[in-house]
């Protein structure tokens, strides 16, 4: 069973991409809404939240994992695999697959990654893209993930993304990478802002690349079950689950996930 986790709805896009490519995979999802947003949190805290989420998912039957949250990628790559035992734990994070997939499609260096503070601070995108011979510019858009989880108005979204639009244009970016899994949920607003300025840009959502790697690396031959757990209930989460996975899917709210 594949265990997927994020702070909230962000990982639902990644889960949907995996399900489209592997409809028989058994999936268990955890959205840590009680601790959302992850972006402003220190590395040490993110490490512990990641560990708790993975322990919880393991207790629910997960044997393979997707960290559908860029902000915890650094925790996942080194320390977590040590705690869980590198040889037994198969885990995919967002950044490596994004860099590998983008390198196959472009040799351009005009790439802007928008992400949370934690992701920008970690330097993980620069390192992953450098390994693929690409360089990237980073920009933190600190309030965007929480705004998406609160489903704020389109005007508020436009206001929050304005610095990202300006930065992309000022560096003549050709590709904008969603370095936070919540961000693709405002893809339309971003594209509208660029087109209003008559600026042409490609947007890249790493979810498909992550799904491709999951299908290759994981056992996806189950019976297609999917279970959702959250640490705090949220209408936006429930609505997004219904839109992406249908009306009959159950979401269980768990108050305590770690011992
Ligand atoms: N979804 C997460 C990411 O991709 C974090 C968003 C947040 O909780 O700040 O970085």
Give the span between the Cα atoms of 175 and 121, in whole angstroms: 21
Query: What predicted TM-score, i.e. pTM, was given to this entire model?
Result: 0.95
What's the gap in Å between 182 CA and the centre of ligand 1? Answer: 7
Ligand 1 mutation target, pool 181, 183, 236, most atoms within 8 A of CB: 181
pLDDT value of position 259: 46
What residue spans of the chain are helical by DSSP H? 10-21, 43-59, 73-75, 81-84, 95-105, 117-122, 124-131, 144-149, 154-170, 187-196, 207-217, 235-245
Q: How many percent of the chain have pLDDT more than 70?
A: 95
Considering only residues 258 and 116, tell me which one the structure prediction assigns the higher pLDDT. 116
Mean pLDDT of 136-164: 96
Mean pLDDT of 64-92: 80
Mean pLDDT of 110-139: 96
* pLDDT of residue 84 exceeding 70: no
Q: pLDDT tens for residues 190-204?
A: 999 999 999 999 999
Q: Which has the closest alpha carbon to 137: 175, 101, 100?
A: 175
Task: Judge if the beta carbon of residue 71 lies within 6 A of ligand 1.
Answer: yes
Q: pLDDT tens for residues 210-231?
A: 999 999 999 999 999 999 999 9
Q: How many percent of the chain have pLDDT more than 90?
A: 89
Q: Which has the closest alpha carbon to 129: 161, 164, 94?
A: 94
Environment class of residue 180 by beta-carbon count within 10 Å: exposed (0-12), middle (13-18) or buried (19+)?
buried
Q: Which residues pair with 115 in a beta bridge?
A: 140
């Amino acid at each position: 069973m594949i265990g997927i986790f994020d702070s909230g709805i962000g990982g639902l896009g990644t889960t949907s991409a995996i399900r489209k490519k592997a409809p028989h995979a058994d999936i268990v999802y955890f959205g840590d809404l009680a601790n959302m947003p992850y972006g402003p949190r220190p590395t040490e805290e993110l490490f512990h939240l990641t560990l708790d989420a993975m322990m919880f998912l393991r207790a629910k039957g997960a044997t393979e994992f997707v960290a559908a949250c860029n902000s915890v990628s650094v925790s996942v790559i080194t320390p977590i695999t040590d705690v869980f035992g590198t040889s037994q734990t198969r885990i995919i994070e967002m950044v490596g697959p994004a860099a590998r997939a983008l390198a196959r499609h472009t040799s351009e260096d005009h790439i802007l990654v928008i992400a949370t503070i934690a992701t920008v601070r970690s330097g993980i995108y620069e390192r992953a893209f450098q390994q693929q011979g690409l360089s990237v510019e980073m920009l933190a858009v600190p309030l965007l993930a929480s705004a998406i989880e609160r489903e704020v108005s389109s005007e508020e979204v436009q206001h929050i993304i304005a610095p990202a639009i300006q930065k992309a244009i000022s560096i003549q970016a050709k590709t904008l990478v969603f370095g936070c899994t919540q961000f693709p949920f405002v893809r339309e607003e971003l594209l509208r802002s660029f087109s209003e300025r008559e600026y042409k840009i490609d947007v890249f959502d790493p979810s498909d690349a992550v799904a491709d790697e999951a299908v290759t690396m994981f056992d996806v031959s189950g019976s297609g079950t999917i279970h959702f757990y959250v640490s705090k209930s949220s209408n936006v989460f429930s609505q997004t689950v219904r839109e992406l996975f249908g009306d009959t899917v159950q979401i269980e709210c768990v108050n305590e996930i770690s011992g």
